[in-house]
Structure 1
């Protein structure tokens, strides 16, 4: 299983799952573009990769903004000559909130960052992938897009949309040699996780719902991404891979 010599752009790679994924891709020989809204976090990830002997550059981008997404895709191609893998990983959480208390601003922000970003990524990366003869798009969805949770109406909608978008793009782009898959993590031990909690839903409660008995770790998601991006997954497209410890059974 290898991604050696591939050019990979990972959004939300300044921390958490995105950081672990960027580091694993680099460890396995890929050139990595570390994309994050937090410029310092992106730089720290890229510097860590380079310190370990890998190749990476950091790019600040707001993935909900078309100009920023186009710019990081073009920077990737300008720097490395191609874009083999685009991992639309950036996302924001939703605190558990009754639907009647969700503001329109919260709804729009979650859809923009969690779903529109993947549309924009595909919009600007696909022409390059088509020209170079193929590529891979990975979208970070969630188990919440498969089994909805109380109080997460905006978040579940965004992740359900991500799964459906993934399947549509896989169908639409198969003839161009572009594979598109989603990864559906269960609750993952990152700094973002507590933001999903409320007085009635704790991180401990989340862990207890997972049959394997633990939260996912960022590296669990990174390993899934590295497999789906590799040539070993050459016949896999349009799937939503549940990295969930059995939560969706």
Structure 2
């Protein structure tokens, strides 16, 4: 795996650079999902969002539609812990829109402890489902459609902790590291599918220390959030991955925080 370092990631041109693309966003109901839906809609993509929380998902979809009048943004309530539901979502998306050019995996969660000795292995069970199992299901479901796109992207948002685990974050860091390894295996599948030529899609890991958004700043006005990535910058990095060739990006880690 190779690394690429950037302060904010690749940015879209703001002029409909993704016009005609169909991009799915998993885990779209949170702040990162909201920012990503808006940015992709701004860039002209048809955006197909999913989340297990129907009410919050509807709010995210409505906000993206309102921000960019005329944009096609849809939402599906999907339990990504069910492989059949994940596959049905992928099949429905490709059938309805004719193609799938991206899957942005934003399903997240955090559990930790004050020391290594106090690690609760129940946290591993929770994080295994949230951070690994959902990723496995979406990647297996969307591999085919992304290959057929010819310029697909599978994007995982990971954390600095996967490369530099700390004593109190053993379960979280191990889960993120496993998710990264799985994503790189998908990247190898894309590489092999390309044969002697360029891969038909790219699997990319975007690395943050942590994410921050406007409400967090409002709630903690004295906090510095040093090294954190704003969700709007994450969204710009996501959109910008289509501005680079798949063979340059496939199997890479894009650092949105200083690398260790």
TM-score (norm 1): 0.84
Query: Which deviates more, 91-100 or 109-118?
Result: 91-100
In structure 2, relative to structure 1, the CA distance for the partners of 1:113 and 1:192 (3 Å cut) is: farther
Q: Is the 1:84–1:129 Cα contact (8 Å) retained in structure 2?
A: yes
Query: Which deviates more, 56-65 or 131-140?
Result: 131-140
Residue in structure 1 matched with residue 232 of structure 2 by the alignment: 219
Q: 1:65 aligns with which of 82, 97, 100?
A: 82
Q: Is the 2:78–2:89 Cα contact (8 Å) retained in structure 1?
A: yes
Residue in structure 2 matched with residue 47 of structure 1 by the alignment: 62
Bigger relative contact order, structure 1 or 2 (CA pairs below 8 A, ≥6 apart): 2
Residue in structure 2 matched with residue 35 of structure 1 by the alignment: 50
Number of aligned residues: 232
Query: Which deviates more, 97-106 or 120-129?
Result: 97-106
Query: Which deviates more, 140-149 or 91-100?
Result: 91-100
Structure 1: where are the runs of 5+ without partners? 194-202
Q: Is the 1:227–1:233 Cα contact (8 Å) retained in structure 2?
A: no
> How far apart, CA to CA, are the structure 2 residues paired with 1:94 and 1:233?
36
Q: What is the aligned-residue RMSD (CA, Å)?
A: 2.4
Is residue 106 from structure 1 mapped to residue 119 from structure 2 by the alignment? no
Q: Deviations over 1:159-204 (max 9, x none)?
A: 11122222222122124312100111122115998xxxxxxxxx94
Find the residue that maps to 1:118 and give its secondary structure: helix
Q: Counterparts in 2 of 1:125-164, with a 5 A limit? A: 125-164=142-181
> How far apart, CA to CA, are the structure 2 residues paired with 1:189 and 1:103?
26
Residue in structure 1 matched with residue 41 of structure 2 by the alignment: 26
Residue in structure 2 matched with residue 200 of structure 1 by the alignment: none
Q: 1:179 aligns with which of 157, 179, 202?
A: 202
> How far apart, CA to CA, are the structure 2 residues paired with 1:100 and 1:60?
38
> How far apart, CA to CA, are the structure 2 residues paired with 1:191 and 1:239?
29
Query: Which deviates more, 176-185 or 45-54?
Result: 45-54
Shift in Å, 1:118: 1.6
Residue in structure 2 matched with residue 5 of structure 1 by the alignment: 20
Shift in Å, 1:137: 0.5
Structure 2: where are the runs of 5+ without partners? 1-11, 194-199, 217-221
TM-score (norm 2): 0.81
In structure 2, relative to structure 1, the CA distance for the partners of 1:174 and 1:190 (3 Å cut) is: same
Residue in structure 2 matched with residue 199 of structure 1 by the alignment: none
